[in-house]
Amino acid sequence: MAGFMDSINKGLTTLNVKTSNLMESSKLKTTISTRESEIVSLKSFIGETVYLNRANFSMDMVSEQISQIESKYSEIEDLKAQIAQLEEKEKEILGNATHNNAPKIYCSQCGAPNDVDSLFCEKCGQKL
Ligand SMILES: [Zn+2]
């Protein structure tokens, strides 16, 4: 039974890692696209300001918006780095899970794969 519980736990770990990483990275991606559309609005504000003040435009009129754009771009870089980190972590954990699953013996009755140290088949209960 230990082998059976082990493979259930490994399966759940894999599932949890996948699910929580997926939720985390889709949250990060949503934030990125929010920041990107905020940047578009800021750029459009800057363009409008340049146009309306074309006779006496000065950079001071938009310096606030420019620094907001800069900080949003650097926030996006951070978010992308976090997503890359999540993917890296997932590969690491899933890679280990796959590696741990490697040695198997197959049930003579139903053909299910079992851990080499299992006494009974985890699927049909056949003595191995
Ligand atoms: Zn079996």
Closest CA to 112 of 101, 103, 123: 123
Percentage of the residues of the chain whose pLDDT score is greater than 90? 62
Domain ranges of the chain: 2-93
Q: Look at residues 8, 26, 33 and name the one whose alpha carbon lies nearest to residue 86.
A: 26
| Residue 114 CA to ligand 1 centre (angstroms) | 9
Q: With 60 as the cut, is the pLDDT of residue 101 above it?
A: no
pLDDT, tens only, 5-20: 777 777 777 777 778 8
Q: Across residues 108-120, what is the average pLDDT?
A: 91
Give CA 65 to chain center in angstroms.
31
Centre of ligand 1 from the C-alpha of residue 37, in Å: 56
Span from the CA of 105 to the centroid of ligand 1 (angstroms): 10
Q: What is the pLDDT of residue 22?
A: 86
79's CB contacts (< 8 A; 6+ apart) are 28, 29, 31, 32, 35
- Per-residue pLDDT at 2: 62
Ligand 1 center from residue 118 Cα (angstroms): 11
Query: 61: closest CA among 76, 80, 47?
Result: 47
**pLDDT for res 97:** 63
> How many Å lie between the centroid of ligand 1 and the Cα of residue 128?
8
Poorest-pLDDT segment among 36-40, 81-85, 96-100, 113-117: 96-100
**Contact between residue 98 and residue 112 where contact means Cβ atoms under 8 Å apart:** no
59: amino acid identity, one letter: M
Query: Does the pLDDT of residue 47 top 90, yes or no?
Result: yes
Average pLDDT over residues 21-47: 96
Q: How far is the CA of 126 from the centre of ligand 1 (A)?
A: 5
State in Å: Cα 95 to ligand 1 middle.
27
CA 100 to CA 77: how far, in whole Å?
Answer: 35
How far, in Å, from the CA of 115 to the mean position of ligand 1?
12
